Amino acid sequence: MLRNRVVAALEDLKAKDVVEIDVRGKTSIADLLIIASGTSSRHVKSIADEVVKFAKQAGVLPLGVEGQDEAEWVLVDLGDIIIHVMLPRIREFYGLERLWTVGDGLEDDDEAPEAQRQAD
């Protein structure tokens, strides 16, 4: 399974804070987003390269790879799975996890809107 190969690639190169988000029913662009951090631009690029290599070994050619030059945020599009490998500061700034989990009940109470806290 492609997901397993992607996760193995991330583990092989010691990606940090790997998060999988099921986006089926939220968008038609993919079924799964995988977000991971690297410790430096070189690490981010290496992780993304490894994901591409593992995908090709599984017989899946990436539809696109973006951001390899700066390697602060590299996106690997494998069709049903999109992988975002980011530097921690970039990941925090864009907050993709928050964006794709709004309404899933995953927010902390501190981040919940005031009206929602009062209703509880």
What band does 65 get if pLDDT is binned at 50, 70 and 90?
Answer: very high
And the tokens for 71?
Answer: 């390697």
CB 47 within 8 A of CB 13: yes
**Secondary structure (3-state) at 29:** coil
- pTM (two decimals): 0.79
By CB atoms closer than 10 A (0-12, 13-18, 19+), residue 84 is buried
What band does 36 get if pLDDT is binned at 50, 70 and 90?
Answer: very high
For residue 59, which amino acid is it? G
12-26, 33-47, 91-105: lowest mean pLDDT where? 91-105
